[in-house]
Structure 1
């Protein structure tokens, strides 16, 4: 075994290619990411925000309760008045099971952390109207819109992007609200303003605000919903709780869920949070986006699942009776197969054929798929968590998650392992101010066991040098890598031919610790210029044909031919440790036009069309009709991206 004390480790699932696909699938993003739309077409009735305005604010701004939305009955009424199946039908007319993508909390219903809250919001205009009556908003005789006792009309500004997708469903929402006597004034703003650093959402400049979040395999949520994450002028607009919602019990629960590694405790705390979220209705979850894949009618083994971004996780099991080749249609061609720097969907999908998918997240639940005997967890003793002594000069992770060096007198906020907040087992934490004299902090180590018999497609065995090379390249900025989150937070790693160990810095205890594992590159591989891959400087890797165009791997297939702009050919890896794939050959065919891809699927020229190519437009209806006749199969999968409407509890 070889070990190193330098900070050099792979990005565990924060960058797919950092774990060379074999060890890290899928990509995990450790922060909430706003999804913007590309289409910016405007309609006559919308109001477009044309330029950024600089507004002088004081620390008291944005703390005044909103005269309408601060009333929970109004928010609950809006939820009941929203016909979400109708909203879904406006953008996904071809989807039969609309209930499958409905959401009632911020967590997808297939997620391990989801607990159905007792409070539900079925479409019920009468119930919504009754709540508005109770809130003092009456519908006068002959009136279209409600008003209060002073004659003020119940009118709310609804802001979102000018993407056609949102214009479509927003129009339905506006109509729903009118049926309940609520006037909605729609503003479709440019995405650059709505998602700007100092405008739109970032400055809470909305009453009703619609956009999408990309859900994570880890549900997170603390920065979105905790009481101390409300962005205000007085705190420099820190935090993402733009609603201004503060429910102390829910806030404590979301913090508790994010600061323990005990899964049962996390489920319990998330359940408490979801009850509070549903009861208070700070944000109306609308629906998951839909990913649509289609295949030949007789293709077996294809099984896309929520939470799993690449359906090729089990490609070795795909087969068609009597066929020796399966043809996949992609609308774009990979720029490179060096997925450390090229992580587009098409590049990563093609790479999974060569590298395999070591870790899956089917239904948002992680599991070892290949290469590893199991994921190292605290429960199975593959991971350890201990309290360690730290002192001046030690590098640790502070309470904000940053790498710092402890120094006396600098008042550094850290997490001490002698508190009352449960992390796991008997280890409990508290946040302290380090000023010198030492402290105790939690430290994690993950010990990975690899399957026996792992070989590269050229027949050479996987060895420790391959794992060490991957660590070196992944954490070298010259390689083109851009994310060094885990690299910078690693205290020590040890490589072996069949095992790998990584020790994190004190204070770094990420919820997805069990996905922080090894990657590998073939250190032995001889290049066309005579050098070994292990001897090539990181700065040259992006231009190496052996890396970008003809990499070797441990996965089920090898790349045999790449005709640029036309196709990529793959053959079964004779040294795949799980045996021969069920189908000897895979071909990726570049079909840039969606209509052409659909036509070729229907005529049998291609066998699989992925969502990346199929999209969610009229072409889906064509494929759906063919599927109804039994000519093809179509798969509708709730994606991790979900639409919602936030309610701003405050006004300036």
Structure 2
């Protein structure tokens, strides 16, 4: 499904993983820390002729159309009745350009896969009311809420977390609905229940459900919206299509978008999906969250972008006139710089100064940033796609994405000129039940070419042994690594001083194939006990100071001092292959209190306050006021995380 380990070294410049392959990995629900857990009921009561009996939950309980939300006109009315700019203002009062974070599909508007859907839902109470009238929900004279012909009130249960952020915007949503005659009964549940494995969202226990998806550079979406991803008791609650929405055309489009390697075809299929999604309104996209960064007014080079998780991707270009040291404020201190086991944002950002950012995803589009001449793609011939002959007993990746030994009865995707799944160019696939006797399956190889002159900060050149060591440690469970998706789906690797090649198993063709590349560790590095890093067993790596606290890298800076709880100091790497960074020294200062960080920015004691520290509270208003006067610069960037309200189209 993903290789966070192999890809992160490239994207976030750590030698391990942080990026998820969205097409192969379900998107992750944001979780909040709570202490209360509500236990799921496994049976429900049904009253028949005043007698009570216990009945087991059946699949039919989750396929019965919801008496209100199964009506498209009601869902469309709710969309028209929602004043999303007002909702945004309730949580981001300081944001001027609210249109920049409005969403009308599941894909951010700045994403390459976004296409404006044909059906739009402008805020219009009159239109919403007319749709509700047509659906049979009338507003009686003097009444606050609508009712049907039998007098049943139009009332819906709205469930979300108890976080203040959601309580704030949910109150506005409730008021919006009341203005249209819809009663919303809000339930702010503990996050442990709402996001529990057997409760809340996972069991579709809501009518209107609000939460956030954490978006990724690849739009993915198949697990969220395909018809065969509706969680039910009969399928063990697999899938994340909790709305129970099934539009065959949209489902086929999202599957096609996730199973082709052709960018133009992906855009086409995502456009078809977004049209179906907007027309059916199974889920109401609300807004992207906002990441806020602030800097000294004369800092040049700082350029945070949507889709790019670490704004330090170009830190070698940051500079202030006359300054030889930039001070960056973080509210948290990294637990370790061994990114294979510590992938917290602050750790990855800190490590990026040492390792550099090999691949960027600016505006959700991937590009080689450091170390690589280019990304290996099918278009530039750096990647190869062939029809591989496979036979019984060979290891392949089946149609479900699992690694299996090929045998009769296995569902696989084979190369077939008459296939209905276009993969790339003239290559088409067809899903079949393998009968034995051999077949042809798609197989990919990526050939990476590194820039010349790459050296570690100690002056030693990058060599094949360094790349091979990274592969070894990344794929060793004793190292503390937890994700072996790429490791398990790799057929062959070849290592060179300036080249690296990876062949994937037949059947494995992830859309982000061009980001599956090499990492590296300094195999030559001598430790304090006299051993070389290459000779240390993987199980010891997490405790090595040379790995966790003072690693060396190929990036623009090298760590010089770490005063725990206070600061981490860096100096320019004299062996950085691109030359000297524009600022000789960097200091990461630990400032746990947001107000203190803001105060130090305003007095000039720190040069950068990241969104991780600044947050989205009243402190942002203070910084914006200073920015409006020209005292600092402030950057508002739409986050990949987005809020939405799902409509459960079914009921028990």
Q: Please report the TM-score for the alignment, with normalisation by the length of structure 2.
A: 0.92
Does structure 1 conserve the Cα–Cα contact (< 8 Å) formed by 2:20 and 2:216? Answer: no
How far apart, in 2, do the equivalents of 1:569 and 1:68 lie? 60
Structure 2 residue aligned with 1:642: 642
1:12·1:24 contact (CA, 8 Å) conserved in 2?
no
Q: Structure 1 residues 621-630 or 233-242, which shifts more?
A: 233-242
The alpha-carbon distance between structure 1 residues 80 and 489, as it changes in their structure 2 partners (threshold 3 A), is same
Which deviates more, 28-37 or 248-257?
Answer: 28-37
1:52 CA drift (Å): 21
Tell whether the 8 Å contact from 1:10 to 1:470 is kept in structure 2 after alignment: no
How far the C-alpha of 1:196 sits from its partner, in A, is 1.5
- 1:137–1:15 CA distance, 2 compared to 1 (3 A): farther
CA distance in 2, matches of 1:87, 1:49: 46
Question: How far apart are 1:318 and its partner, in Å?
Answer: 0.3
Matched residue, 1:86:
86
Whether contact under 8 Å (2:478, 2:538) holds in the other structure is yes
Q: What CA deviation, in whole Å up to 9, does each residue of 1:546-576 have, x standing for no partner?
A: 1111111110001111111111110111111
Deviation at 1:147, TM superposition (A): 1.0
Q: Which residue number corresponds to residue 445 of structure 1?
A: 445
Q: Which moved more, 1:22-31 or 1:96-105?
A: 22-31
> Given the superposition, is the C-alpha separation of residues 317 and 47 from structure 1 closer, same or farther in structure 2, using an over 3 Å criterion?
farther
- In 2, are the aligned partners of 1:113 and 1:219 still within 8 Å (CA)? yes
With 6-15 and 42-51 compared, the bigger mean Cα shift is at 42-51
Cα offsets for 1:479-511 (capped at 9, x unmatched): 111111100100000010111000000011001
Does the Cα contact within 8 Å between 2:106 and 2:285 map onto a contact in 1? yes
Give the Cα separation in 2 of the matches to 1:92 and 1:37: 30
Is there any run of 5+ residues in structure 1 with no aligned partner, and where?
none
How far did residue 256 of structure 1 move?
Answer: 0.8
CA distance in structure 2 between the partners assigned to 1:252 and 1:165 by the alignment = 36
For the residues of structure 2 that align with 1:42 and 1:101, how far apart are their CA atoms? 40
Q: CA deviation at 1:234?
A: 2.2
2 CA distance for matches of 1:22 and 1:581? 34
Moved more, 514-523 or 410-419: 410-419
Which deviations, in whole Å up to 9, do the C-alpha atoms of 1:255-296 show, x marking residues without a partner?
A: 110111001000000000101111111100000011111101
* Residue pair 1:227, 1:248 contacting (<8 A) in 2 also: yes
Partners in 2 of 1:596 and 1:399 — Cα distance? 53
Deviations 1:450-487 (A, max 9, x none): 01111111111111111011101111111111111100
Return 23-32 or 243-252, whichever deviates more.
23-32
* 1:235 Cα offset (Å): 2.1
Higher alpha-carbon deviation: 413-422 or 630-639? 413-422
Q: Name the SS for the 1:261 alignment partner.
A: coil
Determine if contact 1:2/1:496 at 8 Å carries over to the other structure.
Answer: no
Partner-residue secondary structure (3-state), 1:601 = helix
Alpha-carbon shift at residue 542 of structure 1 (Å): 1.1
Q: 1:141-152 residue pairs with structure 2 within 5 A? A: 141-152=141-152
Contact 2:11 2:359 in 1 (8 A): no
> Structure 1 38/327 Cα, relative in aligned 2: closer, same or farther at 3 Å?
farther
Could you report, residue by residue, the CA deviation over 1:1-35 in whole angstroms, capped at 9, with x for unpaired residues?
A: 99999999999999844899999999999999999
Q: Which moved more, 1:345-354 or 1:17-26?
A: 17-26
C-alpha displacement of 1:230: 1.2
Aligned partner of 1:236 in structure 2 is: 236
1:372–1:269 distance in 2 versus 1, CA, 3 Å: same
Cα distance change, pair 16–582 in 1 and its aligned pair in 2 (3 A) = same
What TM-score, normalized by structure 1, do the two folds share? 0.92
Q: Distance in 1 between matches of 2:4 and 2:131?
A: 64
Could you give the per-residue CA deviations for residues 135-180 of structure 1, whole angstroms, max 9, x where no partner exists?
1111111111111112111111111111111111100000000000
1:217 matched to which residue of 2? 217
1:359-417 CA-to-partner distances (Å, cap 9, x unmatched) read 00001000000100000001111000111111112111111111111134667787878
**Kept in 2: contact 1:26–1:361 (CA 8 A):** no
CA offsets 1:565-601 (integer angstroms, 9 cap, x no match) = 1111101111111111110100001111111111111
For 2:320 and 2:246, the matched residues in 1 are separated by: 55
Q: Is 1:552 aligned with 2:552?
A: yes
My pick for the range that moved more, 191-200 or 257-266, is: 191-200
Question: Relative to structure 1, is the Cα distance of residues 410 and 280 closer, same or farther in structure 2, using a 3 angstrom cutoff?
Answer: closer
Q: Which moved more, 1:543-552 or 1:377-386?
A: 543-552
Asked if 2 retains the 8 angstrom alpha-carbon contact of 1:398 and 1:414, the reply is no
Q: Give the aligned partner of residue 24 of structure 1.
A: 24
CA distance in 2, matches of 1:473, 1:228: 37
Query: In the TM superposition, what whole-angstrom CA distance separates every residue of 1:41-75 from its partner, at most 9, and x where no partner exists?
Result: 99999999999999831121111111111111111
Check the 8 A contact 1:20/1:339 in 2, yes or no: no
In structure 2, the CA distance between the partners of 1:412 and 1:112, relative to structure 1 (3 Å rule), is closer
Pairs aligned (count): 652
- Structure 2 gap segments, 5+ residues each: none
Q: How far 1:236 moved relative to its partner?
A: 2.1
Q: CA offset at residue 225 of structure 1?
A: 0.8
> What SS does structure 2 have at the residue aligned with 1:500?
strand
Q: Is the 8 Å Cα contact of residues 157 and 185 (structure 1) preserved in structure 2?
A: yes
Q: Give the corresponding residue for 2:286.
A: 286
